């Protein structure tokens, strides 16, 4: 083997090793960096306007925009979580009191008197022998153990909260530098991309369109679901419709469960309290109205903006969540968009070469 070949192999090996080590070093921070990039892309137009007002003072503009992100995201989210925690504790205490006083069992007995419920209960009893079980006695006997278990889980909750705060700190840090040096970094990325200028602009444009459609589409759907959920709570006379509507808007970003994590337990509580009509109406609204908004509007809105088929978008979102976690909600469609754009660039290149070959020479 020639010395030149050995030198090339050595350079490739060292380069690959360096990039692998760089990936291992940055791996714990890739998710915060990714979220910072998304936030920067969505809010960058506001940053440019602020920069013009402040006469292009990048340092001051970046600090103000980072503080605005904290005000817009962190404070409302913290207040919402605190309110939800109070509601959950109050509901838990109410159910515990109903179990101790026997009113919960009385409600269930009333529920069993409904003909449809009686028919279902008889079928379940025939299949599983439910008459031999005493679920309420079991719950009363083990209430102390359940409380102890929930108390022991508080350490895990605090650990998860500390991890979230840790990641969010690095997201804000990355966001600040993306605002401050964003133009320079964007130019460097464009220079590094190994594609011609026309195809490079197409790739970047599709990337930006997907990010905007995913983020703004998600926000639009969250607002619609929050309004519908709040109205449903208000019409049915349930307490705190504004709080629970806002909670549904936030929970709509959660891929698994989503708004059902709010209206589902509420339906159960209504059934337990004997408000069967309200529970059935809320269940129908949750499944047929609130749930359908996410199932139909999200694929339609994003696919119409990015030219991705709704079926491919559906699998890209689910697969992205499975591979990347919550960040896959955006990363999955982004990967699909980049792949489709690269295929489009390749096909356009083939067509242009064929056209140049058949073009008559003068």
Q: What is the pLDDT of residues 231-285, one digit of tens each?
A: 988 888 887 787 788 888 887 876 667 788 888 888 877 776 667 788 888 888 8
* pLDDT at position 7: 78
Q: Is pLDDT of 326 > 60?
A: yes
Mean per-residue pLDDT over the chain, rounded: 75
- Could you report the per-residue pLDDT of 273-290, keeping only the tens digit for each? 667 788 888 888 888 888
Find the Cα–Cα–Cα–Cα dihedral 168, 174, 176, 182, rounded to 10°.
-150
pLDDT for 88 equals 63
pLDDT in tens, 184-218: 888 887 777 777 777 777 778 877 777 777 777 77
In this predicted structure, what is the pLDDT of residue 162? 62
Average of pLDDT values for 33-57? Answer: 83
358 — pLDDT class (breaks 50, 70, 90): low
Is the pLDDT reported for residue 324 higher than 50?
Answer: yes
* 320-352 residues labelled b (16+ CB within 10 A) or e (exposed): bbeebeebbbbbbbbbbbeebbeeebeeeeeee
Query: Is 356 strand, coil or helix?
Result: helix
* pLDDT(64) > 80: yes
Cα separations (Å) of 214 from 149, 293, 333?
Answer: 39, 15, 8
| H or E element in which residue 237 lies | none
User: Which region holds residue 360: left if phi is over 0, alpha if psi is between -120 and 50, else beta?
Assistant: beta
Whether the predicted pLDDT of 144 surpasses 50: no
Q: How deeply is 191 buried, as exposed, middle or buried, from its count of CB atoms within 10 A (0-12, 13-18, 19+)?
A: exposed
DSSP 209-230: HHHHHHHHHHHHHHHHHHHHHH
Q: Go through 65-79 and write b for each residue having 16 or more CB atoms within 10 A of its CB, e for each that does not.
A: bbeebeeeeeeeeee
As a whole number, mean pLDDT of residues 79-96 equals: 67
Measured CA to CA, the distance from residue 66 to residue 76 in angstroms comes to: 15
> What pLDDT is attached to residue 101?
72
Q: pTM for the complete prediction? A: 0.64
Average pLDDT over residues 288-308: 74
Domain ranges in the chain? 29-192, 193-362
Count of CB atoms situated within 10 Å of the CB of 95: 16
pLDDT at residue 127, rounded to an integer: 64
Residues 6+ apart with CB under 8 A from 52: none
Q: Under DSSP, is residue 198 helix (H, G, I), strand (E, B) or coil?
A: helix
């Amino acid at each position: 083997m020639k010395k030149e070949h050995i030198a090339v192999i050595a350079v490739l090996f060292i380069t690959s090793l360096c990039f692998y080590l760089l990936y291992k070093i940055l791996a714990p921070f890739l998710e915060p960096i990714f979220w910072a990039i998304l936030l920067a892309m969505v809010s960058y137009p506001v940053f440019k306007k602020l920069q013009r007002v402040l006469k292009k003072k990048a340092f001051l503009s970046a600090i103000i925009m980072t503080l605005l992100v904290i005000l817009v995201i962190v404070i409302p989210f913290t207040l919402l979580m605190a309110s939800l925690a109070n509601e959950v504790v109050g509901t838990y205490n109410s159910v515990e009191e109903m179990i101790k006083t026997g009113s919960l069992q009385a409600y269930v007995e009333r529920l069993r008197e409904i003909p449809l419920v009686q028919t279902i209960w008889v079928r379940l009893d025939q299949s599983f022998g439910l008459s031999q079980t005493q679920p309420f006695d079991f719950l009363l006997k083990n209430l102390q153990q359940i409380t102890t278990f929930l108390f022991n889980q508080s350490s895990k909750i605090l650990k998860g909260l500390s991890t979230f705060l840790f990641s969010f700190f690095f997201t804000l840090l990355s966001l600040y530098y993306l605002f401050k040096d964003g133009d320079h970094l964007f130019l460097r990325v464009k220079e590094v991309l190994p594609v011609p200028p026309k195809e490079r602009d197409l790739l970047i444009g599709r990337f930006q369109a997907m990010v905007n459609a995913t983020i703004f589409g998600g926000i639009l759907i969250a607002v619609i679901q929050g309004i519908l959920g709040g109205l449903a709570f208000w019409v049915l006379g349930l307490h705190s419709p504004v709080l629970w509507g806002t909670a549904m808007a936030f929970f709509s970003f959660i891929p698994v469960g989503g708004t059902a994590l709010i209206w589902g337990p509420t339906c159960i509580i209504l059934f337990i309290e004997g408000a069967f009509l309200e529970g059935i109406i809320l269940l129908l609204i949750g499944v047929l109205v609130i749930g359908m908004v996410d199932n139909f509007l999200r694929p339609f809105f994003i696919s119409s903006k990015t030219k991705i088929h709704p079926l491919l978008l559906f699998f890209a979102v689910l697969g992205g969540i499975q591979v990347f976690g919550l960040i896959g909600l955006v990363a999955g469609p982004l990967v699909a968009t980049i792949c489709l754009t690269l295929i489009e660039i390749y096909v356009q290149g083939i067509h242009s070469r064929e056209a140049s070959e058949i073009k008559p020479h003068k």
